[in-house]
Structure 1
Amino acid sequence: MAIPKTKFCGGAMLAAAALLAACGTTGPTNLGLGANPVATCAALVAPVAPTAIGLPSGAATIDSATLVPATALAVAERGPSPAARITPAIPAHCKVLGRIAPLDAAAPPILFRVNLPLAWNERSVQYGGGGFNGTLITGLALVPAARFDQPTPLAQGYVTYGTDSGHQNVAGQPPQAFALNDEALANFAHASYKKVRDVAVALMQRAYGQAPQKLYFMGSSEGGREALTMAQRYPQDFDGIFSRVPVINWTGLQHAGTRNGIATFGEGWLRPAQVQLVHNAVLASCDAADGAADRIVSNPVACLQRFDPASLRCAAGTSGDNCLNDAQAQAVRTLRSPWRSPVPLANGVTEYPGWGIGGEATPAFASMGGWNAWWTGTSAPAVPPQPSNGIAWFYGSGALQYFYARNPSIDVRSYRAEDFAARIAAVSQLMDSTNPDLGAFQARGGRLLMLEHMADYAQSPFAGIRYYESVVARMGRDNVDRFMRLYTAPGVDHVGSGAPANVDMLGALADWVERGRAPSGLQLVEQEVQPPFKVVRARPLCEWPLWPRYTGGDALQAASFQCSR
């Protein structure tokens, strides 16, 4: 059975000019680094003055500017996500490494990397980060949600760039420790992405003789929060933004994640076999409800109402992996219940929504899928957290210690948000990308795409859904439809496994920004993670609140499903 491949820009690695033409990019295709790109690249080493940066800042020093040769596609056997296994083919380009000096001598510099193609399409893509950052984003990887057989933005002629967000991870230190410095925290919250954007524009002006015509930002998870932050705080800086699985209500997420971890202490911890038990019970209850028994819960909202973890409770006097005790059943209910903040959060937010359903035992490529990765871990939670504990417990408890209590020694099991109300309010204003007023971004012609994975246990997909609904409530449906879309992907975990998850969002975004063609008929595909990256199944990508209902035919084909209420 052959599944038609979704048409997208490229598929083979073409020569730069041919690729730009194939992509339908508007504007000239002959801008580049000139007849002597080695010399042009090397000449970029002059500092970028603070006056070129739109926030109070030190100067940007260029550590190196080197023309690097093209590299070939490579695929690893394992990785933390399907996409992370792929090292795409990269064309020859000018690699610029640098740092932006802090204002506070005790704060770390902001590291950045800018990649300048030999043939430029007059556009740029800024990549978001992940987790607590602390690692320099190269701008060479596939962008979030990209098809595996798709050329990278750099291979399509975009300038690409990224940052470490203003701190580097230090061996032996928790990744949250940087937040004890106010400037480092502000850089992580928003300032570093703006500063690096402005430095990248200055370098493009220097290299090509003009600023970019269009600027895009694409991020997932923490990078998805950064993407929304750009639309909210710096609405004039980007033409198109894609935010996938954003950790949007950041303060609520850290508190809710810690609460969920505490619920699994003692008798509440679910062993891996019990996670599989819940997963199987959810599928038995909800999998075929959309008409196709394909191990995907296509309508998770209805499934949340249908499945009750109490149905798995152990009979009196029994225990074991084939049932849940009372504390375990309550822990599952806690995960799916909102965390209500006892103190005010930014933008009138009062709670963090509960998590979704489906994908509880999604197999992980390494350690990034399902409950075993994010919530329960593979061993009972501990203080301090251990590597075998759930990531949310490690992230959340560390955030409470370093961001809110600012006390690395506090036992978060006795933490009370009321005791840190002023600090929570301050960090919420910095970190939470929940401002529903996107009027300035819309007015400058910006376009925003969001994508939530409905089997995501790193963050609740309902947080992004609630944000979208708050934008609609603030700005009106007609206005929002002119510049913003929210899509949901059933059965997909945080990092893009479990169900069809790949779609060319950069192509869809550029079409909307540059040609006025709003996204329509998008499809998610699931691909083998090896060349030629064969498509094994597909689904329509539905706008919220629609979901893909099976209508008959080959269940591996997107045409056999219809977006329905």
Structure 2
Amino acid sequence: MSPSFLTAPLLLAGTLVAAPAMASSCADLSQLDLFGVEISNAEAQPAQTLPPDPMSAMTGSSPRPVEVGAHCLVEGKIDDREGVNGRYGIRFQMRLPDQWNGRFLFQGGGGMDGFIAPAIGSIPSTGSTATPALSRGYAVVSMDGGHNGQGGDFAEDQQARLDLAYVAIGKVTDTAKVLIQARYEKAPEHSFFMGCSNGGREAMMAAQRFPTEFDGIVAGNPGFHLSRASLTQAWDVQTLMSVAPNGDLSQALTQSDLDSVSSEILAQCDAKDGLEDGIVAGQCDFDPEALRGKLADNKLDALLTVMNGPKGKNGEALYSDWPWDPGINSAGWRAWKLGSEQRPAMNLSIGPASLTKLFMTPPQESIPEPLDFDALARNVSSVGGYFDADEVFLSTFAHQGGKLVIFQGLADPVFSANDIARWYTEASAITPDTARLFMVPGMTHCGGGNATFENFDPLTLLENWKETGEAPQMMPARAPSMPEREMPLCAYPTYAEYQGGEVNNASSFACVEP
């Protein structure tokens, strides 16, 4: 061991480590004596252009090259072990900039994890052009959630389930903070978490299970109720297959069908925010029965069954209903619910493994037939009890000054905006100045959609909230398809109403109560 390190033991939340002094070089970090942690690489990196994140489709990060300054790249593995069906451990990557701004950001994953995305800290909305956290001077860490590979076989291992659920967050956080202490000889002034999809669930879990570790969270389109959303995917497939010609799910609702639905939503709701522009920013009390005659009755009935959400035999809701947004005819909505001739629906390619392997106990090879959704709901409740980030009691997080920014696409086809709205309402009643929710009209899952204002910067919003103590009432946003136009995304339940003037200016809108 290098003589530049001390060896007094330090017990953090999940890892016993040797408390180091300042590392004289990046390479010295490879000599850290951390219990249960293997550092495989610690290498100084010059200022460079990092290539687009190859995992952006899973994490929602912007698929663009990133300019970064000189930094220290550290890679390693925590708790390497032989598991039930293979080798396990929590792999991580960390980048520590030479010009550090004193802050730490944990970058969430996506899907069922199983990969390490580059630790860059890009805003997890595919249309965002905001500066990534690493380029701002943050020390950034990413991880694989405790298993390697994106299939569901890892869920045969009890500890691998727990690691993905929440345990890995604590262990990687401990390791990252030790690396920060060693590199800079001080702890981070602020510790943030940011992610979308399952990364958004991980972000909410950071606030719920590790309330003293983080003081700022950005959660995008969070799969916080993932066990029930997984069940819902099976509900949607069963429902839509009942009207699929020749068993072709992609044609259960044609593009023409969805265009008709989108047009009717606009006809009923577009003007309610004061401006007919293809965007439904305000409340939409949509009457789907107006679609009778425009869609075949069996197709409309199937769509209503999907949009009303899964129900038990006695009619009780097993997940959530969905808002009617004109983004229903976008490629992102189709990709999850219906798929195409070239690519099967993600509800078919990802959904079954999530439901049967991760959430059913014991794991199953296929969904039991015939489908009994009451039984499925009872089965997934066991894993959902520790996997879902649906706790609303955030008193410690709030007491320590923690702030949570959530953004959610109204046309998200996999996690319902209505579900996160209910969670937010309940949580805010307990700790009213801790979280802010921003609904994004037209946006599907972690970006994409029709004329959607997905180019926004929730990290700067969070930074300003922490620095000023003033809760944000709106978040400026732009639509990539309309580069000259800016519109505010308003803190829920308010929405952006056009007040008159130049439509491209955000100042022409006001956040109003519904």
Tell me if the contact between 1:47 and 1:60 (Cα under 8 Å) persists in the aligned partners: no
Contact 2:230 2:351 in 1 (8 A): yes
CA distance in 2, matches of 1:68, 1:219: 25
Quote the residue 1:95 is aligned against: 73
Mapping for residues 42-441 of structure 1, pairs under 5 Å: 42-50=27-35, 59-72=36-49, 80=57, 84-102=62-80, 105-106=83-84, 108-145=88-125, 148-169=128-149, 175-268=151-244, 269-299=252-282, 301-302=283-284, 305-308=285-288, 310-314=289-293, 323-340=294-311, 351-360=318-327, 363-364=330-331, 369-370=332-333, 372-379=334-341, 388-403=343-358, 404=360, 406-412=362-368, 414-419=370-375, 423-441=379-397
Gaps of 5+ in 2: 1-20, 245-251
Is 1:480 aligned to residue 427 of structure 2? no
In the alignment, residue 184 of structure 2 is paired with which amino acid? Y
Structure 1 Cα separation of the partners of residues 377 and 81 of structure 2: 28
**Under a length normalisation based on structure 1, what TM-score does the superposition of the two structures give?**
0.78
Q: Is the 8 A contact 2:356 2:364 kept in 1?
A: yes
Match of 1:231, SS state, is: helix
| SS of equivalent residue, structure 1 residue 84 | coil
Distance in 1 of aligned mates of 2:369 and 2:498: 45
| Distance of aligned partners of 1:205 and 1:407 in 2 relative to their CA distance in 1, 3 Å threshold | closer
What is the alpha-carbon root mean square deviation over aligned residues? Answer: 2.8
* Residues 252, 339 of structure 1: 8 Å contact kept: no
The corresponding residue for 1:551 is 499
Query: Structure 1 residue runs of 4+, over 6 Å off?
Result: 73-76
Alpha-carbon distance in 1 for matches of 2:83, 2:149: 18
Assess if the C-alpha contact under 8 Å between 2:42 and 2:75 holds in 1: yes
Contact 1:116 1:160 in 2 (8 A): yes
Distance 1:277 1:221 in 2: 28
CA distance in 1, matches of 2:162, 2:69: 35
Distance 1:297 1:492 in 2: 11
Alpha-carbon distance in 2 for matches of 1:541, 1:84: 19
Match of 2:456 among 500, 503, 514: 503
Q: CA, structure 1 residues 432+341, in 2 after alignment: closer, same or farther (shift >3 Å)?
A: farther
Q: Tell me how far 1:146 sits from its aligned partner.
A: 8.9
Distance 1:146 1:495, change over 3 A: closer
1:328 to partner: Cα distance: 1.2
The match for 1:518 among 471, 474, 482 is: 471
Give distance in 1, aligned partners of 2:330 and 2:381: 38
Displacement of 1:425 in angstroms is: 2.6
The answer as to whether partners of 1:262 and 1:413 remain within 8 angstroms in 2 is: no
Query: How many angstroms does 1:463 deviate by?
Result: 1.3
Report how far residue 552 of structure 1 moved: 1.6
Could you state the TM-score of these two structures normalised by the residue count of structure 2? 0.85
Percent identical among aligned pairs is: 28
Return 152-161 or 503-512, whichever deviates more.
503-512
Q: Following TM superposition, by how much is the alpha carbon of 1:461 offset from its aligned partner in structure 2, in angstroms?
A: 0.9
What displacement does 1:313 show? 3.7
Q: Do the aligned residues in 2 keep the contact of 1:272 with 1:378 (CA within 8 Å)?
A: no
**Partners in 2 of 1:155 and 1:84 — Cα distance?**
14
The answer to whether structure 1 residue 442 and structure 2 residue 398 are counterparts is yes
Residues 435-469 of structure 1: CA distance to partner in whole angstroms, max 9, x if unpaired? Answer: 11001111122111111211211211111111111
Equivalent AA in structure 2 for residue 508 of structure 1: L
Contact between 2:472 and 2:491, CA under 8 Å: does it hold in 1? no
Cα distance between partner residues in 2 of 1:138 and 1:307: 45
The answer for unaligned runs of 5 or more in structure 1 is: 1-32, 51-58, 315-322, 344-348, 380-386, 529-533
> In structure 1, what residue type is equivalent to 2:28?
A
